[in-house]
Structure formats: C-alpha cells, structure tokens
Amino acid sequence: MIIILGAFLLAIIILILLVNKPFNLNGSYAPQPASSYQQAVEEIKTIQDQEGKLENLSAECGTILMTNGGKNKNVIVFLHGFTSCPDQFRKLGERYHALGYNVYIPRLPRHGLSDRTGKPLKGLSAEELARFGSKTVDIAQGLGERVIVVGLSGGGSITTWLAQQRSDVDLAVPIAPFLGVGFVPAPLTRLVTNLILLFPDIFQWWDPVNRMDNPNSAPYSYRGYWMHALFENLRLGFTAERDARSTKPAAHTILVITNANDGSVNNDMVRRFERNWRSNGSGYLQAYQFPKELELPHDLITYYRPDGNPELVYNKLLELIQ
C-alpha cells in the first residue's frame, strides 16, 4: 500500500513539474537586417542556389521571390504551413505582386522534399524554426520599407513568435496559428507538449487510412510527420507566450485570423495570446474569424483542396491586410 501511494505521489509530482516546466530557446536571435535591396536579393539567390543543388527538392517547392525591381514601400512575407511548401502561397502572392508589393515566400526547414512521407522532418527543432523566422525578417528588411509577415498554421506559430520578438515587423498576421492541438483542452496543452517531447519520437500519418493517398493533400505536401517535429512548433509558441504574459509584443500591428470551423488547432490557445497582448498594452491588435457556416478547412490557403474556398479566403485576406 505504501509503495502504491508513493508511486501515485511521484506521478502527481512529475505531472506538476511537466505542467510548470518552462519553455526556452537556446541560442541568440538578434536581428541582422539586410542593409540594401541588393543584399537581400543576393541572400535569396544564395538560398535558391543551395536549393537547386538538392537532388530531392520537389520542383514546385523552391523559395519564391516576386519583386518589382527595387525596394518597395511594402514587402509581404508568406510562411507556409507545417508539411507544406512555398507553392501553397504562390497564387495569393501573385495577387499581392500585382498590387505592387514585393513578395517573399521562403521554404521552411526540412520541407518540400520529394520524400513526401514527411520523414525528412525528423529532428526539426523550435530553434531551427526561430533561426529561419529571424533570418527571413532580416532579408525582408531589404525588400520593403514596411514589412508584413503572414503565416499559416506552423508558419503562424513562427509569425506569432516574430510578433513578440521583432520590432521591425510592421504587421504580423498569424492565420490559424498552431499554438495548441484542437482536441487537447488549453489547460492541458503545456502538459501534453512536455510529455510528447519527453517520450521517444513516433511517426504519424495525417490520414491513417489513406496514408500516401490522402485526398486533401496537395501534390507536394508531406503525408505524415514526426510527433516531435509537430510539437516543436508548440514549444516555439510557448516561448512566445512566456514573454507575452509580461511584455508588450514588439511588432507594430498584429492581425490574428482564425477559423471557427477549424478542428485542427486550438482557438482557445490563440485567444490566450490575444488576451496577453491586450493586457500588456498592445493597442494595435485586431482579430477576425471566418464563420463556422463557411465550413472552411484548417488549410485555408491551398488552392488544390477540394473542400476549400480559396477565392473567398483570398479576397477577405486582401481586404483585411490592405
């Protein structure tokens, strides 16, 4: 009986420690903004050249740059979702380019490779995502006077972190940001994240039945993922939340966009960020939610999805972000 009681108490102590375990990032992410349009373009060309040497990069998944030949008033950066690639935002990027924006759509680390199982994501870390996000904003500084960062899902997690960290982001737009799992209650998200990252890594399919034949996947999208890679997005989000509880966000303006029909991410976790930001004096925070009756999927952006409505979504985003 004493042994059982001791084991029970030990389990309770471990759970309490995991619930309260702080999330931190290793390394430095100090801004190093590009000093000129030429430097920014050269850095992007270097990235594209490196991608060109990858034998396993999908043809449609390289980093995208659309410019008007010089530094513009506005540059808009699109950060694609977890297991997707830059082509996800290509059509929307073309809309903004036609309006005179410079458009930059970088490829997230370990994404867009021809092994579409998703196994290339093994080892992805919150630090890698933070370095990528910080470098992306550094480059964007050379492309436009006003920097707008828009990110979907996993790209939304990075955008949320950047909104907290970077004062040289004029407008941050996290769309359906992955800050919590849809079916995990918000109070348990920290515990679940710590538990997942504590246990051995496992591979999962987005569609366990159809696997590689997932009908809702774009041709270039990964059909699966490693659990640790997925939850490293949440670890990045929790580091931003830690700072958001006590510090005003650095970005000048934040526009949070959610989807009431979204069962993949936890909108309660997103609202926690909104409350923290507002309580810390961010007077430039706006929010919009796509109504549930539109029945939009979590991936609002991909124009391949048979259950999506990209025309409606794109028009609304153009209205909101303009």
pLDDT band at 210, cuts 50/70/90?
Answer: very high
4 in a domain, yes or no?
A: no
Q: What is the mean pLDDT of the chain?
A: 93
How far apart CA 279 and CA 248 sit, in angstroms, is: 9
What local confidence, expressed as pLDDT, does residue 163 receive? 97
pLDDT band at 13, cuts 50/70/90?
Answer: very low
pLDDT band at 282, cuts 50/70/90?
Answer: low
246 in a domain, yes or no?
A: yes
How far apart CA 286 and CA 297 sit, in angstroms, is: 22
For residue 140, pLDDT beyond 50: yes
CATH number at residue 173: 3.40.50.1820
H or E element, residue 172: strand 171-175
> Where do we find the tokens 């550094």?
138
CA separation, residue 68 to residues 26, 193, 296 (Å): 37, 43, 33
**Average pLDDT value for residue range 288-302:** 97
26 in a domain, yes or no?
A: no
12 in a domain, yes or no?
A: no
24 in a domain, yes or no?
A: no
The model's pLDDT over 157-186, given as tens digits with 9 standing for 90+, comes to 999 999 999 999 999 999 999 999 999 999
How far apart CA 180 and CA 77 sit, in angstroms, is: 23
What local confidence, expressed as pLDDT, does residue 283 receive? 64
16 within 8 A of 188, measured Cβ to Cβ: no
pLDDT band at 195, cuts 50/70/90?
Answer: very high
57 in a domain, yes or no?
A: yes
How far apart CA 160 and CA 208 sit, in angstroms, is: 30
Burial pattern 156-179, b for ≥16 Cβ within 10 A else e, equals: bbbbbbbbbbbebbbbbbbbbbbb
The model's pLDDT over 228-249, given as tens digits with 9 standing for 90+, comes to 999 999 999 999 999 999 899 9
How many independent structural domains does the chain possess? 1
**Average pLDDT value for residue range 299-320:** 95
What local confidence, expressed as pLDDT, does residue 34 receive? 98
CA separation, residue 292 to residues 64, 156, 287, 288, 315 (Å): 32, 20, 15, 12, 18
150 in a domain, yes or no?
A: yes
H or E element, residue 275: helix 267-279
Model-level pTM?
Answer: 0.94
What local confidence, expressed as pLDDT, does residue 56 receive? 95
Q: The tokens of 225 are what?
A: 């993922």
132 in a domain, yes or no?
A: yes
How far apart CA 27 and CA 236 sit, in angstroms, is: 13
The model's pLDDT over 95-117, given as tens digits with 9 standing for 90+, comes to 999 999 999 999 999 999 999 99
pLDDT band at 3, cuts 50/70/90?
Answer: low
Domain extent for 253:
32-321
